[in-house]
Amino acid sequence: MSSSKRVRVSAVEAIRGISMMGVIGIHIGAEYLANPSPNIHLVALFDIGTRFSVPIFFFISAFGLLYGQSPTAPFSYRDFLVRRGRAVMIPYLVWSLFYLIHDAYAYGVGFPPLTALPGILFFGNAKYQLYFMVILIWFYLLMPLWRVLLARMTLPLLAGILVLQIAFDYWSSFSTTFNLYVYGLPEGTLLRALLFYRLNYWVMHYVFIFLLGGYVALHFNAFRVWMERNTKCLYALGIVSLGALLAWYYKLILVDGYTPLEGIYTAHQLSPLGIFYTIGATLALFAFFTRLGTENLLGRAFQLLGKHSYFIYLAHPVAITYLLMVIHGQGYVLTAPLALSMYVATLLLTLLGAIAVRRIGESIPILNELTIGLKPKK
């Protein structure tokens, strides 16, 4: 178990960048599905090929927390929560308030009643991307448990957790009995909300990928040797896992008669093939970006995106909102060419915004502290 001095792992930053690109694709894809006749292949690009994006963020988070550490070393839970609170909780609350105020005026829906705020914040419902931060906060709150598990983790135990993960996610996503029970609960009840929004805060949906990230971090030297010996096999795993998920998506639509919306809501990241793809994509991307390095234009581009991925993740719905206003204001439907152009525009606008805010934050440190939890270097 490695506890050596931390050496920067450039692949992690690059994976942050490409994962953030995938998240934008998912959200552009959701808007594109409003087109009455969407191109199913573009939907596959936006909503199937990107399905690794959110789970892999949990892998990266665990890796960053445990790389160069030992789960048996002295650990101050209080200090850990204070540090993570600054990095995640403060930006979460700031961006939640921003979106509640912004959407109240932009969409004319008004600010929600104060009595509704605890539920909105607990479930991450201030904006559609913020649930990720709620799950991340729960992972942080349960950090002592993860440290105990990782101190005793073996590959057979990790494989067993994977089997349990597949079974649990399948039950949560596809159990007719359970889902009918949830939808049958009275509207407005606490139990219905707790079960209906389970994807927004139940860490159990992503425990395996989080623990995998922690395990790789703790055994990184051995993992890197194994990865370099098996790079081609990992590339093949990534391609095969993507192909399997795409094949299922196309079967759902072309054979079973699903709509594209029904297809992506079935072939998602919590399905068995979705979990397989998440693992395949994670390992393949780790191998690819390790080999790519940072001494070339492509490598530097992904490093830049990774550096600013936090702000882009939090802010990209703003760009999507106003780009859609322009498109719809001109009387256009979001066609495939417009959707692709909107994707590029969203990425570039939020990247430029991230760079600008980061630089302003160098002069006004509280700006970076509030938006991305970044404290000035002493």
Terminal-to-terminal C-alpha distance of the chain? 32
* pLDDT at site 293: 83
Q: What percent of the chain has pLDDT over 70?
A: 98
* pLDDT at site 3: 43
Are 72 and 151 within 8 A, CB to CB? yes
Residue range 181-206, pLDDT digits in tens: 999 999 999 999 999 999 999 999 99
Residue range 336-354, pLDDT digits in tens: 999 999 999 999 999 999 9
Q: Say whether pLDDT at 377 is over 80.
A: no
* pLDDT at site 6: 64
pTM over 0.75: yes
Q: Say whether pLDDT at 140 is over 70.
A: yes
Residue range 237-275, pLDDT digits in tens: 999 999 999 999 999 999 999 999 999 999 999 999 999
Residue range 88-111, pLDDT digits in tens: 999 999 999 999 999 999 999 899
pLDDT category of residue 326 using cuts at 50, 70 and 90: very high
- Per-residue pLDDT, averaged over 119-127, amounts to 97
Q: Say whether pLDDT at 1 is over 70.
A: no
